[in-house]
Copies of this chain bind each other. A is one copy, B any other.
Amino acid sequence: MAEKITPRSVDYSQWYIDIVLNAKLADYSPVKGCMVIRPRGYAIWERLQAELDRRFKATGHQNAYFPMLIPMSFLKKEAEHVEGFSPELAVVTHGGGEKLEEPLVIRPTSETIIWSKYRDWIQSWRDLPLLYNQWANVVRWEKRTRLFLRTAEFLWQEGHTAHETKEEAVKETETMLEVYRAFAEEYLCLPVVAGRKSDAEKFAGAVATYSIEAMMQDKKALQAGTSHFLGQNFAKAFDVQYQTRDGGLDYVWATSWGVSTRLLGAIIMTHSDDKGLVLPPSLASEEVVVVPIFKTDNKAAVLEYAGKVVDALKADGRRVVFDTDDSSSPGWKFAEWEMRGVPIRIEAGPKDAANGTVVMVRRDTGEKTFVKVDEAPAKARETLAAMQKDLLEKARAFQDANTKDVADRDELVSFFGKEKGKLDADGELHEGTAEAPGGFARGLWCGGRDCEAKLKADMKVTIRNLPFGRQDGCDGACCLCGAPAKHRAIFARSY
């Protein structure tokens, strides 16, 4: 048997860690808070990265690479930026055996180093826009870490664009959030709510931050991507002016946007079950595993039969693994491949060979079908497409079922069930998923920072974002304090 995974109903957090470790997606590092991404986890990141990179290039972006080490003084040039990132910095004080004249920080994000170069590269409106992205590692010193979800070092991409006008920069901010939304839903099967962050939750140095928010199976929110309109803040901090079309001088407008290896945590937590990992077929390096079922006397015949199925699937473009190992039983193999999240299992034994069939088992639903051997490739293709669609729909149905409009504080308190649950320091409810209270509460909000801060302090619930397309008709009362409302917000506990 594969190693045991703690059921979600017993301990949701442990279930998650069990999957990450047992499916060999990631492991702990000797340095506290850092993470090793193992080949099976990295293969998912590579597929995700390739598709996202394709979408960036399709929207006119180019990749570049900026240095990881940033002079401490650069961070200080933008007041909010340094305030936001100071507590999380890793600082290099010595290099080549000598104490450095000025300490360097390992990038927690690259606005400052990038804008220091944009100053050299931008003179005129003819040099604009710059639409650059980089794939890189960053370090943010975190006290409480969890594999993929929050680690001191993580991998991400960060886009940094420079524009002539405010309108163009705002449009870019929106475009990239939409790239993330479409990517999350189409490729990762993660339904998300797109919207604007409250000022308290926006990026340090941004004028406005947009986000996409997903819902995990424990009904907590996970911020899956952000896109920031930076106004002229960094251009002013680094004195990046350009000659305008009418011969004047103006500061350049900026955006930045990013997603990280945290998305792997979101994917795992959204789709997986008590048997292990469930992956959208788009992300699976192995779409189909073929398990031949044989004894010593029929081994050769079964392997030949199953091998032909493997060949036919490969010829049809499938990524296939053929598990011919004879040191473990079929039952052990089934459990192992389920734990690893291979979307389709095909079983082929002597009876199947006699009947000209195979058994096809779908990872997400467990649905078992007898398929004529000639039809296996077409059926596999169909099943993978259905699974990609169904995983999104299932997650969307879960999100919808756990999203509630709330009118006042009582409804909100009751929805998040503070009284009911055994909340630990993380605001987690270890009773499990189905029974855990909470989700996305949708309610009116006055826009007050105090009101928002009090909610967080009282219940560990925050405003996730102000969803786009739902900001009309906000003329009621704030569901937190009763004052006149300005926005409609999504409230949730979050990762």
Residues of A near any B CB (own CB < 8 A): 27, 29-31, 34-39, 42-43, 45-46, 62-71, 74, 86-97, 103-104, 106, 113, 116-117, 120, 132, 136-137, 139, 141-143, 152-153, 155
Interface contact B155-A65, CB-CB below 8 Å: yes
Residues in chain B near residue A89, CB distance under 8 A = 94-97
Interface contact B90-A91, CB-CB below 8 Å: no
Interface contact B70-A36, CB-CB below 8 Å: no
Residues in chain B near residue A88, CB distance under 8 A = 96
Interface contact B30-A71, CB-CB below 8 Å: yes
Looking at the assembled complex, report how far the CB atom of A41 sits from the nearest CB atom of chain B, in whole angstroms: 8
Residues in chain B near residue A74, CB distance under 8 A = 30
**A43-B63, A88-B96 known; A137 vs B68 contact (CB < 8 Å):** yes
List 29 A-B pairs, Cβ < 8 Å: A30-B74, A31-B67, A34-B67, A34-B68, A35-B67, A36-B65, A36-B117, A37-B64, A39-B64, A42-B62, A42-B63, A43-B63, A46-B63, A68-B139, A69-B152, A69-B153, A86-B97, A87-B97, A89-B96, A90-B92, A90-B104, A91-B93, A92-B106, A93-B93, A95-B152, A96-B142, A96-B143, A106-B106, A137-B137
CB-CB nearest in chain B for A130: B39
Looking at the assembled complex, report how far the CB atom of A235 sits from the nearest CB atom of chain B, in whole angstroms: 17
Interface contact B27-A120, CB-CB below 8 Å: yes
In the assembled complex, the Cα of A152 lies from the Cα of B96 at a distance in Å of: 10
CB-CB nearest in chain B for A34: B67
Looking at the assembled complex, report how far the CB atom of A112 sits from the nearest CB atom of chain B, in whole angstroms: 9
> Across chains A and B, which 4 residue pairs bring their CB atoms closest together, nearest first?
A96-B141, A34-B67, A39-B62, A37-B65
In the assembled complex, the Cα of A12 lies from the Cα of B230 at a distance in Å of: 43
Interface contact B93-A31, CB-CB below 8 Å: no
Residues in chain B near residue A136, CB distance under 8 A = 137
Extra 19 A-B pairs, beta carbons < 8 Å, given A30-B71, A89-B95, A137-B137 = A29-B113, A29-B117, A30-B113, A31-B67, A31-B69, A36-B66, A36-B67, A39-B64, A46-B63, A67-B153, A89-B97, A90-B92, A91-B93, A91-B94, A92-B92, A92-B93, A93-B94, A95-B141, A95-B152
Looking at the assembled complex, report how far the CB atom of A54 sits from the nearest CB atom of chain B, in whole angstroms: 12
Which of B38, B95, B139 is in CB contact (< 8 Å) with A69? B139
Interface contact A91-B87, CB-CB below 8 Å: no
In the assembled complex, the Cα of A63 lies from the Cα of B155 at a distance in Å of: 14
Looking at the assembled complex, report how far the CB atom of A377 sits from the nearest CB atom of chain B, in whole angstroms: 24
In the assembled complex, the Cα of A29 lies from the Cα of B65 at a distance in Å of: 11
In the assembled complex, the Cα of A74 lies from the Cα of B155 at a distance in Å of: 23
Looking at the assembled complex, report how far the CB atom of A83 sits from the nearest CB atom of chain B, in whole angstroms: 13
CB-CB nearest in chain B for A40: B62
